[in-house]
A and B are shown apart, each in its own frame.
Chain A
């Protein structure tokens, strides 16, 4: 139906008046939004990758972006949702979108990239928004990739200041770059903190040297994620960064079950709002990747006739990646540390700290 909610029923996005730069898409000039009316609203179609729309991650966020756009009147009602269950589903799903008359196709996941490239070239009238890969150089495709490690770096700095045990843990679903980039940025942020403060905060589950770490090998095996997290908690970690959608939650379960004073770092959308209630107190902060907002903006631009093709690297400077507010940890985090964290982030925005280490796409 038209008002099908996204994967998680979430309160509206956080207010924009926080100190931290919220995710914003600077590529779309704000002032043009109220210009002359557009003839026709786009018909949106969303295609997931194999993780499906319930992945509590980029697919879910992409779809949320689409439904938000519909709700805001940037796209026609009843957007189409197509899940891919196999590699060979991408092409027919795209064709199904086209056959159903979609004029704006949103897809997520690097694996679909090539199928999109081919079809986008063949269908120049259709607009495409593509999440998590880039390098198309086509006017009708808007690519969204994220220099997530910039925000992750700052979160790492914060975590290093918050930890009491001096150990921070992380694990991911699979060693894919979109996952590892969170882990790598965080580890570098911790290292930066150590350098600044002369401390020895450890990161467990990711090694910057070997560029490899702790993975569950599955984005659905919840029980495995739980023990993976517990294995890291056993090493005395008290801040955890799980990166893998639904498999992030068992780590929260583990912390609650142990009754320890540990925190979680969220990924993608502000976990305080996006994730189930029982974990609310655990989220120290979220490393935000503004997929939903950017997808909505992209549809908005299409609807309003100020479409811009090409790629954007969402980064700290353009606000597409950032840190959420502290939410429930507001009282628990030392104000000085929080100020420092924001300063670190600002330094990244200003280019004084180069936190964009991880490659996010073809050069």
Chain B
């Protein structure tokens, strides 16, 4: 017989440990980089000034002044410590946390390096983050609405674009609220169209969505060239004003970030909360989720799968409609060909990154918004990094986040599958 005693027992690393090791190594590299590049290589003893108030704020001139080099050394230390913890032992939750914290500190050191000897508005950057996150979050909410009932909506981009177009025209012609209504109607109609193709005709859902994108781009550009060019008065929409929330808006930093915005930004936050509650604490949500996870099971307890899907996909279109209205009625007063420029696709990424959850979508939106805002601040800070590379930042960050932090996310079990009765 075989001699079991001499066969050595090989022990391989669990995925958890492997992940922690990789995280540890990355953190260590980051620590070394921060130490050397942001710490040692910085010329002279420079301070970075972070402004914490906006020129328009009630309370003025709160600043945070940090010594770039000292900060770099501190951050390098923190990163090295996190790395050490990871390399020794960690749990999955702590690995994610460590990576998150590590990136936060790294970016902080990076910003201080970029702002060495200069000053910039940190509060402005964070405020921009919030604003920039809105269309992404709304796009993601649209995706969540649909995919929670197992209909993939890749047509968010087209829904945003078409509803932004409508909002501009109707807003220009009949005023703000007409624009809002128009955007919501068009978003919902495109949702209905997607639902119709996907449910009634069982068209491959990705095809249906791509079609919506192409169609929306084509028809809005066509109309812009053929109609708006000659009817400029239809291309100048009014704007929703900012609503200052009394007292809260005057809190330094937080006031400017969260409490001095237009209606749509509050609405988006509200939607995130409402959708979270609706999905996870109401009858509607339980039924919707069951339709996305196991439509047949839902059917056997008397839930109308088709109706649920129609309803949610239309609501998904509605969310995109809100996004379109946000763009046209709060951000810009003019429609431009392809003015959404891919934000719908980024919304899709945010949906996946946010793991099909409303708060996840918001978090993902904020990460993307932050990357964008970071790029904008770096453009201001006149770093030696060419602007073309700065412009890549948001996209790079999205890839890193999706690949590095999220890994494989699990969609609703029936996602993308048509439901066949008989």
Contact = CB atoms under 8 A, between A and B. Distances in A.
State yes or no: do A and B touch (Cβ within 8 Å): yes
Contacts of B384: 210
A221 B338 CA distance: 8
A104 to B, nearest CB: 23
A236 interface: yes
A222 B380 contact: no
Contacts of A230: 124, 127-128, 131
Given A214-B376, A214-B379, A253-B239, A222 B336 contact: yes
Interface in A211-236: 212-215, 217-218, 220-228, 230-236
B341 A218 contact: yes
Contact of B373 (A9, A227, A249): A227
Contacts, number: 137
A222 B376 contact: no
Contacts of B135: 223
Interface in A167-221: 171, 175, 204-205, 207, 209-210, 212-215, 217-218, 220-221
A214 to B, nearest CB: 4
Nearest to A238: B55
Contact of B55 (A165, A220, A250): A165
A257 B242 contact: yes
A213 B341 contact: no
Contact of B333 (A52, A83, A218, A253): A253
A260 interface: yes
Interface stretch (B32-40, B177-185, B199-207, B225-233): B225-233
Contacts of A52: 225, 337
A223 B337 contact: no
Interface string B211-230: 00000000000001100111
A255 to B, nearest CB: 11
A197 B327 CA distance: 42
A100 interface: no
Given A53-B229, A221-B339, A256-B239, A232 B380 contact: yes
Interface residues of A, number: 51
A8 interface: yes
A54 B225 contact: yes
Nearest to A279: B333
A222 B337 CA distance: 10
A212 B380 CA distance: 10
A223 B55 contact: no
Contacts of A276: 232, 236, 333-334
B132 interface: yes
A99 interface: no
A260 B373 contact: no
Contacts of A232: 380
11 contacts: A205-B379, A207-B382, A212-B387, A222-B331, A223-B339, A227-B373, A232-B380, A246-B334, A249-B332, A250-B332, A276-B334
